[in-house]
Structure 1
Amino acid sequence: MQESERIINEVAQGLRDFEEAVDWFCSLGSVSRVAVLREVVRYLMQAHVTAQDGREGLLRSGVKPTVTPAVLIAREPTLEQMGKIVRLPPSEHANSFRVLLSAFVVADSRRRKVECRGTCSHFWHHLGRG
């Protein structure tokens, strides 16, 4: 498991502090940050993110609702908006990560409760065990 995959999923499962993940993300170079943003978008797609997940995640993100990534995550179509977030300039990377990661926490939590119901075999849903 890659470091980014572990960190993102640990935050989603409450095993790692959100701010610690943001600090880690901000320590990366610009190219690596874009790669991580794309990775979070892939995870959001796998979790079947909804616009409601994005809006709920925004409330948890600590980002002002008027910054560009916040405005985009609350709009539909969700997948198209996430693509726009990934393409924002480096000055927006930290806010973009906060918004996308928060949306993933919401979407993945919903997926684990609704679809997996404790019986899934997704290894990334079992990081705190064993």
Structure 2
Amino acid sequence: MRASERIINEVAQGFRAFEEAVTWFSSLELGEQRAVLQEVVRYSMQAHATAQDGRDGLLRSGVKTTMTPAVLIVRERILEQMGRIINLPPSEYLNAFRVLLSVFVVADTRRREAECRGACGHAWHNLH
């Protein structure tokens, strides 16, 4: 399991603090940050993120509702909006990460509670 995969999933499962992941993300080079944003979007797609997950995730993200990633995530067609978010300029990456990670946390939690219920064979759902 890659470090980024572990960190992202540990946040989703409550084994790592959200702000610790934000600090880790901030320490990465821009190319690595972009790759992580793409990774979080893939995970959100696998968790079947919904528009409601986007709205709920935004509330958890700490990002002002007027910031570009926040404005995009609350629109319908969330997966299309996530594609727009990862294509924002590098100056938006940190807020994008906060929003996308928060959406993933909400979507993944919902999926684990609804579908896995302790009997999940996914390695990323069995970290601890």
Q: TM-score, normalised by structure 1?
A: 0.97
Question: Could you say what the CA RMSD is over the residues aligned between the two structures, in angstroms?
Answer: 0.5
Measure, in 2, the Cα distance between the counterparts of 1:76 and 1:67.
Answer: 17
Aligned partner of 2:103 in structure 1 is 103
Cα distance in 2 for partners of 1:124, 1:78 equals 23
User: What is residue 20 of structure 2 aligned with on the other side?
Assistant: 20
Q: Residues of 1 paired with 2:54 and 2:79: CA distance?
A: 11
Distance 1:4 1:73 in 2: 22
How many residue pairs were aligned?
A: 128
> What SS is found at the alignment partner of 1:85?
helix
How many Å separate the matches in 2 of 1:61 and 1:89?
19
Partner of 2:90: 90
- In structure 1, how many angstroms separate the alpha carbons of the residues matched to 2:51 and 2:73? 7
For 1:41-120, what aligned pairs fall within 5 Å after superposition? Answer: 41-120=41-120
Counterpart Cα distance in 2 of 1:14 and 1:120: 17
Q: Any stretches of 5+ residues in structure 1 without a counterpart?
A: none
**Aligned-pair CA distance for 1:80:** 0.5
Q: Paired residue for 1:125?
A: 125
Question: How far apart are the structure 2 equivalents of 1:93 and 1:110?
Answer: 25
The alignment partner of 2:28 has SS state of coil
Q: Provide Cα deviations, 1:12-46, integer angstroms capped at 9, x if missing partner.
A: 00000100000000110111000000000000000
Where in structure 1 do 4 or more consecutive aligned residues deviate above 4 Å? none
Instruction: Write the distance in 1 (CA, Å) between the matches of 2:10 and 2:56.
Output: 19
Aligned counterpart, 1:10: 10
| Identity of matched residues, % | 72
CA distance in structure 1 between the aligned counterparts of 2:77 and 2:60, rounded to whole angstroms: 21
Per-residue CA deviations over 1:40-87 (Å, capped at 9, x if unaligned) read 000000000001001000000000011000011111111110000000
- Is there any run of 5+ residues in structure 2 with no aligned partner, and where? none
TM-score by length of 2: 0.99
